[in-house]
Amino acid sequence: MGNDTISSSIYFVMLLAISMAACVSSFAVPSSAKSSSSSSFSQEAEALLNSGWWENFFSTKHCDLGGITCNRAGSVAGMEVHSFYYYSHESHGWLSNMSWSSLPNLEYLDLSYSGLIGGIPGEIGTLSKLTHLDLSFNFRLRGVLPPDLGNLTQLVHLDLSGTDIRGPIPSTIGNLRNLIHLDLNSSNLSGSIPPEIGNLKNLVEMNLGLNHLQGPIPSTIGNLRNLIHLDLNSNNLSGSIPPEIGNLKNLVKMSLGLNHLQGPIPSSIGNLSALTYLSLYSNQLSCSIPPEIGNLKNLVKMTLALNHLQGPIPSSIGNLSALTYLSLYSNQLSCSIPPQIWNLKSLVMMDMGFNILNGSIPTSIGHLSNLTHFYLDLNKLNGPIPPSIGKLSVLTRLFLDSNKLNGPIPSSIGNLSVLTYLSLHSNKLNGPIPPSIGKLSALTNLSLHSNQLSGCIPREIGNLKSLVYMDMSFNVLNGPLPSSIGNVSSLTYWSLRSNKLSGCIPSSIGHLSHLNFLYLNSNKLNGPIPHEIGKLKYLFELNISLNSLDGPIPSSIGNLSYLTHLSLHSNQLSNSIPDSIGGLSSLTYMSLASNMLDGVIPSSIGNLANLTHLDLRINLLTGPIPNIICGLKNLKVLQLSDNLLSGHIPGQIGGLCRLEYLGLGRNDLVGAIPSELTYLPQLEYLDLSQNNLFGKIPACLCLLAACHTTVSRFKSQIDLSMSVRMRSQAQVPTINATSVSRVSFSSEGSGCTPSYSIIVESVESENGLCPPIK
């Protein structure tokens, strides 16, 4: 029989004994007491009536009311009510509506889940015979715990969990020496745990979790030698774990997680030989894990995660043969993993991630045949992944990423037929991806990025029909994209960026109808962008830049109405920008730079109302800058440099009040610089160089960037080199000049009154080269 069953039996027997005693005491009523009894019964009936808690009171005897139990003498001994008539009269739902002093024989009171409001009246302390008090899960029960609760010295069961009771636990709680069950969890209690709690030597279960309790755990807790269940989790407790905790030799479950406990785990914890559950996670515990923890041979679950524990994992942990759950995540544990840990054949979950463990993963890992979750990520492990990992036939999650593992991915990994997560990224793994990976039919997440994997992507990847996430970026994979990828129709994220992949993008990509993110950038892909890409209607981000793709941008791209990020730059794309581009109504970022696109900028681009970044530079675009671009009020970056654009700079650009970067250099633009450019309050960079502009530089243009430079933007630059034949009117002496190579600003202040300098370099005047003017 388990310890939990024993504790439940003890508790039940004690309650039964108390109830029987109450019944025996009520068998005989002396005749001399009949008149006084009649009077007291009248008082009880009146108390129940005046509470307003029962609807049909006048047609029913008070002992026949719902939830009321009377003893043989006709006195109220029990009240168990979970819904009251007061739901239609909310003002009746107060505990103070009941005259508790009129119920002197009440032994059992359960009003849990009854919707009570208000506070707990001190008068409840007059119930001197009360053994059971449960007011739990009355979420609007507020106020503080009255010290009068300490008068209920016969109390065996006290449950006030799930309420909004605030303030401290009164020290008078130490008077409840018969208490077996104490549950105050999930309230708003504050203050410290009173040391008088150590007087409750009959206590079997104590739950004070999910409150705002502060200060240390009192050492008197070591007096509770009958305690089986201790829960202090999710408070603000501080100080060290008292060594006296080791006196609780009957303890089966201890939860101290989510506090601010400091210092070492006391070695006396090794005395808790009955313990099955130990949670100390998310504290500030330090020093090493005591080797005495290996004495807890009944332990089933242990979590010490999210602390500052240091040093090696003790080899004695290998003694915990019943352990199924082990979490040491996010500490500062070092050295190699002790070989004894691989003897824990009952383990189902092991998490030792985010430490500084080193050494290799031994072949004995294959002994953990019950393991379903295995985390060794974010350590400094080296050496190969042992082939014996393929023996973990029930493994569903394997995280070995962010280490220094090298060598190939073992082909035996294909034996993990129920694996759903495989994360091996950020290591030094090399060699090809084994074709056996295609056997992982349950796999949903595959992360192999940031390694040194080479060779072709195996066509067996197409067998992973449950795959949702796949990232193989930042490797040296080569060869073509397998057409079988089209079979992985559940894929939502696919990244192969920064490899050496070549060949065409397969048309089967159009079958990936659930894809949200596609990154194929920085490879050697060639050929056209397949028309089928327009079938990816749920795509949010598309990046196929930095390849050798050629041909036109397919008009079907306009079907991608959810697309927010489109990056096709640095390819060899040609022909005109399709008019259908205006269908990308969700687009915020578009870069088509560094291609061979020609023709005019389509007017449909004005439909992209959410666009913040538009980069069309280094193409062969012709015609004027369309006025409709000036309607894109969210633009921060407009880069049209290095094209063949002609005509005037539209003055409406001055309406782009969020614009920070404007590049129009190296085109065939003519006319004057529009004065509206001075209306751009956020502008940091302006390039109008190498055009055919003429006339005056607007007087405020030279001050624009400096005037609106914030403290975090110390440098702004305006480049007008070889762009104007003008007469400068910036706040410097008048210069008769035919070109100004560079005007730059350096701001040292902030707001609109900065300290700035204007430097006009290499000014060519009508009479020759003028010196710089400062």
Residue 141's domain comprises 43-151+166-179+187-197
Is residue 89 situated within a structural domain? Answer: yes
Q: Alpha-carbon distance 530 to 507, whole Å?
A: 6
**Strands in 672-721 per DSSP E:** 685-687, 692-693, 715-719
Instruction: Work out the number of other CB atoms within 10 angstroms of the CB of residue 747.
Output: 20
Task: Quickly tell me which residue has 């034949």 as its tokens.
Answer: 725
Residue 417: per-residue pLDDT: 96
Average pLDDT, the chain: 87
Above 50 in pLDDT, residue 86? no
- For residue 562, the 8-state DSSP code is T
Query: Which CA distances in Å does 101 have to 246, 319, 763?
Result: 42, 57, 100
Residue 61: per-residue pLDDT: 84
Q: 346: closest CA among 320, 317, 364? A: 320
Return left, alpha or beta for 589; rule: phi > 0 is left, psi -120 to 50 is alpha, else beta: beta
Is residue 126 situated within a structural domain? Answer: yes
Above 50 in pLDDT, residue 8? no
Is residue 62 situated within a structural domain? Answer: yes
Distance of CA 259 to the CA centre of its chain: 19
303-348 pLDDT, tens per residue? 999 999 999 999 999 999 999 999 999 999 999 999 999 889 999 9
Above 70 in pLDDT, residue 256? yes
Above 60 in pLDDT, residue 724? no
16-39 pLDDT, tens per residue? 443 433 333 333 344 444 445 556
Q: Up-side HSE of residue 490: CA atoms within 13 Å toward CB?
A: 14
Q: Alpha-carbon distance 581 to 606, whole Å?
A: 10
Place 93 in a pLDDT band, splitting at 50, 70 and 90: confident
Span 438-454, average pLDDT: 98
* Element (DSSP H or E) covering residue 50: helix 34-51
537-557 pLDDT, tens per residue? 999 999 999 999 999 999 999
Task: Quickly tell me which residue has 């003790």 as its tokens.
Answer: 314
Q: What is the 3-state secondary structure (H, E, C) of 406-436?
A: EECCCHHHHHCCCCCEEECCCCEEEECCCHH
Is residue 549 situated within a structural domain? Answer: no
Q: 241: closest CA among 185, 274, 290, 188? A: 290
Residue 140: per-residue pLDDT: 92
Give the least confident one: 49-63, 455-469, 482-496, 733-747.
733-747
Residue 37: per-residue pLDDT: 53
Looking at residue 138, which CATH number applies to its domain? 3.80.10.10
Query: Which CA distances in Å does 488 have to 461, 483, 497?
Result: 8, 10, 19
| Buried-state track 435-462, b at ≥16 Cβ within 10 A, e below 16 | ebbbbbebbbbbbbbbbebbeebbebbb
Span 759-764, average pLDDT: 34
Q: Alpha-carbon distance 542 to 44, whole Å?
A: 76
Look at residue 198 and give its three-state secondary structure.
Answer: helix
Q: Up-side HSE of residue 578: CA atoms within 13 Å toward CB?
A: 16
Residue 694: per-residue pLDDT: 87
Q: 685: closest CA among 711, 659, 707, 667? A: 659
Query: Which CA distances in Å does 573 have to 526, 544, 556, 640?
Result: 10, 11, 15, 17
Above 70 in pLDDT, residue 708? no
Percentage, residues of the chain above pLDDT 70 = 83
Q: 313: closest CA among 294, 285, 296? A: 294
267-313 pLDDT, tens per residue? 999 999 999 999 999 999 999 999 999 999 999 999 999 999 999 99
Distance of CA 100 to the CA centre of its chain: 48
Is residue 77 situated within a structural domain? Answer: yes
110-151 pLDDT, tens per residue? 999 998 999 999 999 999 999 999 999 999 999 999 999 999
Q: Alpha-carbon distance 88 to 107, whole Å?
A: 29
Q: Alpha-carbon distance 315 to 553, whole Å?
A: 62
Is residue 94 situated within a structural domain? Answer: yes
**Helix boundaries (H) for 523-659:** none
CB 399 within 8 A of CB 378: no
pTM of the entire predicted model: 0.85
204-236 pLDDT, tens per residue? 999 999 999 999 999 999 999 999 999 999 999
Above 70 in pLDDT, residue 7? no
Percentage, residues of the chain above pLDDT 90 = 76
- Cα dihedral 101, 105, 108, 111, rounded to 10, equals -30
Bridge partners, residue 760, by sequence: 743, 773
Q: Alpha-carbon distance 317 to 175, whole Å?
A: 41
Instruction: Work out the number of other CB atoms within 10 angstroms of the CB of residue 209.
Output: 23
Task: Quickly tell me which residue has 């107060």 as its tokens.
Answer: 94
Above 90 in pLDDT, residue 56? no
- Helix, strand, coil percentages, rounded to 5, for the chain: 25, 25, 50
Is residue 86 situated within a structural domain? Answer: yes
Number of domains in the chain: 1
Q: Alpha-carbon distance 410 to 701, whole Å?
A: 64
Span 160-177, average pLDDT: 97
CB 671 within 8 A of CB 695: yes
Is residue 127 situated within a structural domain? Answer: yes
Look at residue 500 and give its three-state secondary structure.
Answer: strand
Look at residue 670 and give its three-state secondary structure.
Answer: strand
CB 268 within 8 A of CB 289: no
Bridge partners, residue 262, by sequence: 240, 284
CB 85 within 8 A of CB 55: yes
644-700 pLDDT, tens per residue? 999 999 999 999 999 999 999 999 999 999 988 888 888 888 899 999 988 887 766
Residue 429: per-residue pLDDT: 98
Q: Alpha-carbon distance 610 to 15, whole Å?
A: 68
CB 401 within 8 A of CB 427: yes
CB 169 within 8 A of CB 191: yes
608-632 pLDDT, tens per residue? 999 999 999 999 999 999 999 999 9
Above 50 in pLDDT, residue 65? yes
